[in-house]
Amino acid sequence: MKPIYMDNNATTACDPAVVEAMLPFFTEQFGNASSMHSFGNKVGLALKEARAQVQDLLGAEHDSEIVFTSCGTESNSTAIFSALKAQPERNQIITTVVEHPAILAVCEQLEKEGVVIHRLKVDKRGRLDLDEYKALLSPRVALVTAMWANNESGTIFPIEQMAEMAFDAGVMFHTDAVQAVGKVPIDLKNSKIGMLSLSGHKLHAPKGIGVLYLRRGLRFRPFLRGGHQERGRRAGTENSASIVGLGVASAQAKEYMAFENTEVKRLRDKLEAGILAEVPRTFATGDTSNRLPNTANIAFEFVEGEGILLLLNKQGIAASSGSACTSGSLEPSHVMRAMGIPYTAAHGTIRFSLSRYNTEAEVDRVIEAVPPIIAQLRKISPYWGEKGPSEQPEADFAPQYA
Amino acid sequence: MWDYSEKVKEHFFSPRNSGVLEEANGVGDVGSISCGDALRLMLKVDPDNERILEAKFQTFGCGSAIASSSALTEIVIGKTVDEALKVTNQDIADYLDGLPPEKMHCSVMGREALHAAIANYRGEVWSDDHEEGALVCKCFAIDAVLIEETIRANNLSTVEQVTNYTKAGGSCATCHEGIEEILAKVTGERCTAPAAPETKPAATPPINGKPKLTNYQRMRKIEEVIEAVRPQLQRDHGDIEIVEVEGRNIYVKLQGACHGCMMEQATLGGIQSQIAEALGEMVRVLPVSQHKPTGH
């Protein structure tokens, strides 16, 4: 049976049209865009078109505001280090507890080096307290960096409003929008967002290509120096094939934006409702009224995520989990913990993230596959047993912890 | 995805002896806080010959936790209680043709459940002495707690020593940054270099009664104080060197473990008050990085 891929927040399949557009740039169009001869010139023109396509998707005012990087992580690091270097008199950063490690790990390291990091908390539904945020904005803050949409729960933050608030306080604002681009309409020219990170492989472009949007006039210090590429803001020979691929993917993302928010959303809602109706002691996490249209994060109480994934995988279904055991770190998801999800449920969270390639038949098959898997694992869980859920799980089973 | 052996997968997909053992006379409940896994092991022991007749488990955990539980029951059934106590977590891992290093703690949990269940059967109270930290060295499955304890117990100060004592960092070497962080933390704690006195010293040390020193005498005094503190610094794998004396400013270079140590300021402050005492005048002991040569 054909495998079912529902892990699109991790990465997406390259669209065939993207691959087709890229291929000539591995063969006859191999030139260096910087060269004076015609080999380079055609590549240069292709990059210009791709830049315009990305500009269009983001609603940026100028195409020179698009800086191609190697990935979302590079864009994030560039934004953070630039803000600190360009404003040495400011040594504080405001971020949130639920950011991707590409932000959190950098902040942790900077904290050791003396930078003051403020991490905004979230409530049970993963929402921020904007009063807490407002109180922290000050002339000591070099940068606010907040994700547009959460990769695990899909919860959307009020980024445009937060950028306005930062602007009013004279503070630079960056958003990690790798999950939002292509799913949430973005119009940068009518916002106060200073910097934005985008990752190609989250929207059907290849891995190894990213973008940092950089508002014209924003003070900036390059992360990589050593060449005039990207107007001296990101040195290194352009990854021309991938840039062309990202251009095509951006044009497609704009075209499919409505589809994502109607059809993909409908399939997601059907999947979530189907599973919640069939499996007891199960709930959706995050701000379900304000989240990405493709993401369903479901907590199955009393079972552990990795077991669910292994059994799903056996049936050809790909999803991911916030459980500790599926990460290399053995730490349960910091996003689920930040929302105060009890650990017996946090370890059993499964994220289904759809794309425009998923079909109704696939959704039906997953709805059918999940309940027996959960039942099978609950049967051998000490919190559940043969007879059904434990009424007082903590009292009935209180293991001695190492 | 984890690189699980066929045997692990097989025991996960078709676990042996899962479920509740109603007539159990030894039950062990254990969990691993770092992973959130938990395991209940139920044993039915024949009181006449202490042989384990039946074993069943319930596990809340990942694939390898379930497989380890299943393997554990297969291993102990038929053994006497004393024989079962000799089963190690490595035996459980070997039975499954190995576990990924990140998952070795699943086998540790199995062994702990076994000990807890046997203690329960004997009417004893089992207490766990195993503390588990974040995994640092993935090649040899060495966690932060073990590294920290080994550094402390053996007074280690380099990554190389940590590797020699624990194996951590001895293969792919990618965890050396993590080991260095633990070293810095422990070194900071055990630093015995002279610290500035708790109470604020008098604004001006007593000058009255002390004859004014010649430049040569003054230098000698400074050197004497430095020589006196040097053994202390060396015990912490550090050292100190005088670079320049300019009027009241004494510029020094802290070396080895003292250099960049979080206690650097306190160390300098302590030396400063000792020199001030010896000279009978106010001096400042400063790191050489603040020395700006003049007159050139």
Q: Is A325 on the interface with B (CB under 8 A)?
A: yes
Residue A113 has phi, psi (to 5 degrees) of -90, 5
Give the integer Cα–Cα distance in Å for B95 and B84: 14
Whether residue A193 is found in the same domain as residue A161: yes
Q: Where are the domains of chain B?
A: 6-121, 135-190, 215-290
**pLDDT at position B202:** 46
> Which residues 331-370 of A are in CB contact (within 8 Å) with B?
331-332, 343-344, 346-347
Quickly state the pLDDT bin for B293 (edges 50, 70, 90). low
Architecture field, domain B215-290? 2-Layer Sandwich (3.30)
Q: In the listed set A233, A253, A273, which residue is the last one of a domain according to the structure?
A: A253
pLDDT of A259 reads 98
Residues of A within 8 A of B36 (CB-CB) are 304, 323-324, 332, 343, 346-347
CATH of the domain at A292: 3.90.1150.10
> Do A227 and A266 belong together in one domain?
no
Predicted confidence (pLDDT) per residue in A365-401, tens digit: 999 999 999 999 999 988 876 666 666 666 667 666 5
Asked whether the beta carbons of residue A347 and residue B60 sit closer than 8 angstroms, the reply is yes
Nearest-CA distance B28 → chain A (Å): 8
Q: Is A302's Cβ below 8 Å from some Cβ in B?
A: yes
Look at chain A and report how many structural domains it folds into.
Answer: 2
Residue with tokens 């079912």: A4
Residues 6+ apart with CB under 8 A from A397: A382, A383, A390, B29, B38, B40
Distance separating alpha carbons of residues B1 and B6, to the nearest angstrom: 14
Is A205 a member of any domain? yes
Has residue A58 got a pLDDT over 80? yes
A339/A317 same-domain check: yes
Q: Flag if A382 and B60 touch (Cβ within 8 Å).
A: yes
- Per the rule left: phi > 0, alpha: psi between -120 and 50, beta: everything else, B251 is beta
ipTM score assigned to the predicted complex = 0.83
Q: What is the pTM of this model?
A: 0.80
Of the candidates B30, B37, B65, the beta carbon closest to that of A400 is on B30
- The first and second tokens of residue B237, run together, are 């794998």
- The alpha carbon of residue A5 is apart from the nearest alpha carbon of chain B, in Å, by 15
Whether A192 and A269 map to the same domain: the answer is no
How far apart are the C-alpha atoms of B143 and B130, rounded to whole Å? 12
| Cα distance between residue A299 and residue A285, in whole Å | 7
Q: What is the pLDDT of residue A89?
A: 94
Q: Please determine whether the domains at B6-121 and B135-190 fall in the same fold group of CATH.
A: no
pLDDT tens sequence across A281-332: 999 999 999 999 999 999 999 898 999 999 999 999 999 987 766 655 556 7
Interface test with B, best of A300, A325, A331 (most B CBs within 10 A): A325
Backbone φ and ψ of B240, nearest 5°: -140, 150
| Chain A residues touching B132 at Cβ < 8 A | 402
Amino acid identity at A49? E
CA distance B35 to chain A (A): 5
Same domain? For A246 and A267 the reply is: no
d(CA B91, CA B114): 13
**pLDDT over 90 for what percent of chain A?**
82
For residue range A230-253, what is the model confidence (pLDDT) as tens digits? 999 999 999 999 999 999 999 999
Q: How far is CA A229 from CA A24, A68, A213, in A?
A: 22, 9, 15
Structure-token pair, residue A15: 């669209």
Please give the average per-residue pLDDT across B228-240, as a whole number. 86
DSSP 8-state assignment for residue A226: S
Mean pLDDT, chain A, whole residue set: 93
Q: How many residues does chain B have?
A: 296
Mutate to test the interface with B, among A108, A341, A349, A380 (most CBs of B within 10 A): A380
Residues A241 and A354 in one domain: no
Q: Please give the Cα distance from B230 to B226 (Å, whole number).
A: 6
Nearest chain B residue to A301 by CA distance is B60
- Boundary of a domain, candidates A253, A268, A294: A253
The pLDDT-based confidence of B237 (bands split at 50, 70, 90) is confident
Its sign, for the CA torsion B224, B225, B228, B233, is negative
**Rounded Cα gap, residues A214 and A196, in angstroms:** 7
Query: Given an 8 Å threshold on Cβ–Cβ distance, is A402 in contact with B33?
Result: yes
Number of Cβ within a 10 Å radius of residue B289: 8
| Bigger pLDDT: B261 vs A363 | A363
Is the pLDDT reported for residue A122 higher than 50?
yes
Burial bucket for residue B91 (CB in 10 Å: 0-12, 13-18, 19+):
middle
Instruction: State how far the Cα of A209 lies from the Cα of A47, in Å rounded to an integer.
Output: 13
A283 interfaces chain B, CB cutoff of 8 Å: no
Q: Which residues in chain B are closer than 8 Å to A324, comparing Cβ atoms? A: 34-36, 62
* The pLDDT value given to residue A402: 43
A401 is a domain residue: no
Question: Do A397 and B40 count as a contact with CB atoms less than 8 A apart?
Answer: yes
Query: Closest approach of chain B CAs to the CA of A283, in angstroms?
Result: 19
Output A153 or B269, whichever has higher pLDDT: A153
Domain presence at residue A400: no
CB contact under 8 A, A402 and B31: yes
Among candidates B35, B58, B135 on the partner chain, residue whose Cβ is nearest the Cβ of A325: B35
Residue B105 contacts A where some CB pair is shorter than 8 Å: yes
Q: Cα B198 to the chain's mean position, in Å?
A: 30
A43 and A170, same domain (yes or no): yes
Q: Kindly determine whether residue A324 and residue B12, on different chains, have CB atoms separated by under 8 Å.
A: no
CA dihedral B82, B83, B86, B92 (to 10 degrees): -130
Q: Rounded to whole angstroms, how far apart are CA atoms B136 and B143?
A: 5
Name the closest residue on chain B to residue A324, using Cα atoms.
Answer: B35
Q: Among residues B106, B191, B258, B261, which one is catalytic? A: B106
Query: Which tens digits make up the pLDDT trace of A156-187?
Result: 999 999 999 999 999 999 999 999 999 999 99
Domain B135-190 classification at class level = mainly alpha
Mean pLDDT, residues B261-289: 85
- Per-residue pLDDT, averaged over A146-155, amounts to 97
Selected for mutation to probe chain B from A109, A112, A310 (highest B CB count within 10 Å) is: A310
Do A382 and A325 fall within a single domain? yes
Q: What is the CATH number of the domain that holds A139?
A: 3.40.640.10
Query: Does the residue A402 lie in any domain?
Result: no
Asked if A306 and B63 come within 8 Å (Cβ–Cβ), the reply is yes
B window 161-190, beta carbon within 8 A of A: none
Tell whether B202 is within 8 A of chain A (Cβ): no
pLDDT of residue A48: 96
**pLDDT tens-place string over residues A3-54:** 999 999 999 999 999 999 999 999 999 888 888 788 888 899 999 999 999 9
A365 and A311 fall within a common domain:
yes
Residues of B in contact with A329 (CB under 8 A): 134-135
Long-range contacts of B211-214 (CB under 8 A, 24+ apart): B213/B279
Q: Alpha-carbon distance B55 to B51, whole Å?
A: 11
Report chain B residues whose CB lies below 8 A from the CB of A311.
13
Which of A253, A275, A303 is at the close of a domain? A253
Question: Would you report the helix, strand and coil content of chain A in percent, each value rounded to 5?
Answer: 45, 15, 40
Distance separating alpha carbons of residues A104 and A13, to the nearest angstrom: 27
Residues 6+ apart with CB under 8 A from B33: A401, A402, B132
Of B60, B73, B124, B136, which to mutate for an interface test with A (greatest number of A Cβ within 10 Å)? B60
- Quick: pLDDT tens for A329-369: 556 788 998 999 887 788 899 999 999 999 999 999 999 99
- Residue A96: domain span: 16-253
Cβ–Cβ of B128/A344 closer than 8 Å? no
Minimum distance, in Å, between the CA of residue A78 and any CA atom of chain B: 22
**How far apart (Å, rounded) are the C-alpha atoms in residues B9 and B190?**
46
Residue B103, chain A, CB below 8 Å: the answer is yes
**Same structural domain for residues A182 and A215?**
yes
B6-121 belongs to CATH 1.10.760.10 = no
State the DSSP string of A122-155: B-TTS-B-HHHHHHH--TTEEEEEEESB-TTT-B
B-chain residues within 8 Å CB-CB of A310? 9, 12-13, 63
- pLDDT (0 to 100) of residue B268: 87
- For residue B70, what is the nearest residue in chain A, using CA coordinates? A380
Q: Chain A contacts of B31, Cβ < 8 Å?
A: 399-402
Same domain, residue pair A84 and A119: yes
First to last CA, chain B: 64
Spatial separation of the C-alpha atoms in residues A67 and A75, rounded to whole Å: 9
Q: Does B94 touch chain A (CB under 8 A)?
A: no
CB contact under 8 A, B12 and A310: yes
| Amino acid residing at A321 | S
A386 touches B: beta carbon within 8 Å: yes
Q: Any catalytic annotation for residue B172?
A: no
Partners of residue A328 in chain B, C-beta under 8 Å: 102, 138
Q: DSSP characters for B236-268?
A: TTEEEEEEEEETTEEEEEEEETTTT-TTHHHHH
Contact A382 B65 (CB under 8 A): no
